[in-house]
């Protein structure tokens, strides 16, 4: 049954779940967001200048967030893996589907071809949030995504903080990352065991050049496996991860440019410094 025109506060998430005839299943990483206030705020976290002509939602569930996105976007595409939920969304939002404002794509967001989109707003399944985020980030579109709190705070962490790591460098290579809201477990049904975080990612080009992104990410990954070691020892010990053939030559090259850098540790280096190291490693060690 398609709901009649919703009121200004949006469709009730509990009513949507009743009509869909589903309950959340933690074993399937399925937690439905049921707090109307949080649902109403999520689309507002898109930057004011974001293009809302075609918003992508990963994991539509029973459509509580879909409903809010249809109020603020010209067009919405939802990718939903569960066939029964995809069918429910087509029925529940039949008018928007018929008008061409809503498209429901059934399939796994990790493997299907994603449509061209102008922005993405999603409450991501925790189990695939990292893979989805790094599929979306290279598109250069504004993103508002829900993660586990720990994951979101690690994405946004600054150099020198306990949370700063490979994830921080990789995400901030593509975007300015900001945790905009912490969401408690009781905003979901069933309640997850952890808090969640809504994260806004504003795309921008990095303030440094990287000729080989794949090597950059591998080199960052390698050094963070030795985050308690100095950069000197990290370079020496992780050639099997970074793919360096001559780590000693890289150390010599860094010594000639900035010997103090070799005494530092990965957790203190900004992404731009990693880029400088990557350039030297690429030139002298591969």
Binding site as annotated, residues for S-adenosyl-L-methionine:
31, 33, 59, 80, 108, 123
Q: Phi-psi category of 63—alpha, beta or left, where left has phi over 0 and alpha has psi -120 to 50?
A: left
Distance CA 277, CA 216 (A): 9
Torsion of CA 142, 148, 154, 155, to 10 degrees: -10
Distance CA 59, CA 42 (A): 15
Residue corresponding to tokens 């498209």: 103
> What φ, ψ does residue 198 adopt, rounded to 5°?
-90, 125
**Number of Cβ atoms within 10 Å of the Cβ of 94:** 14
Distance CA 98, CA 111 (A): 27
Tokens of 62: 């029973």
Q: Residues within the annotated binding site?
A: 31, 33, 59, 80, 108, 123
Q: For the chain, how many residues are written?
A: 286
């Amino acid at each position: 049954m398609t709901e009649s025109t919703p009121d200004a506060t949006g469709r009730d998430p509990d009513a949507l779940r009743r009509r869909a005839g589903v309950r959340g299943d933690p074993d399937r990483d399925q937690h439905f967001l049921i707090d109307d206030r949080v649902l109403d705020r999520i689309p507002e976290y898109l930057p004011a200048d974001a293009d809302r002509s075609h918003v992508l939602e990963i994991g539509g569930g029973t459509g509580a967030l879909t409903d809010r996105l249809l109020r603020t976007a010209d067009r919405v595409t939802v990718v939903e893996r569960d066939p029964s939920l995809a069918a429910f969304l087509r029925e529940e939002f039949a008018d928007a589907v018929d008008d061409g404002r809503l498209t429901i794509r059934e399939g796994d967001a990790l493997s299907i071809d994603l449509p061209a989109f102008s922005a993405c707003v999603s409450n991501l399944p925790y189990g695939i949030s990292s893979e989805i985020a790094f599929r979306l980030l290279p598109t250069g579109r504004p993103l508002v995504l829900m993660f586990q709190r720990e994951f979101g705070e690690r994405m946004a962490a600054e150099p020198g903080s306990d949370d700063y790591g490979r994830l921080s460098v990789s995400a901030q290579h593509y975007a300015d990352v900001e945790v905009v809201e912490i969401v408690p477990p009781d905003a979901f049904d069933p309640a997850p065991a952890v808090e969640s975080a809504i994260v806004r990612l504003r795309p921008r080009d990095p303030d440094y050049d990287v000729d080989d992104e794949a090597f950059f990410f591998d080199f960052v990954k390698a050094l963070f496996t030795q985050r308690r070691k100095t950069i000197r020892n990290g370079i020496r010990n992780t050639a099997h991860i970074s793919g360096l053939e001559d780590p000693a030559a890289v150390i010599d090259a860094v010594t000639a440019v900035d010997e103090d850098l070799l005494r530092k540790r990965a957790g203190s280096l900004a992404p731009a410094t990693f880029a400088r190291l990557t350039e030297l490693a690429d030139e002298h060690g591969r």
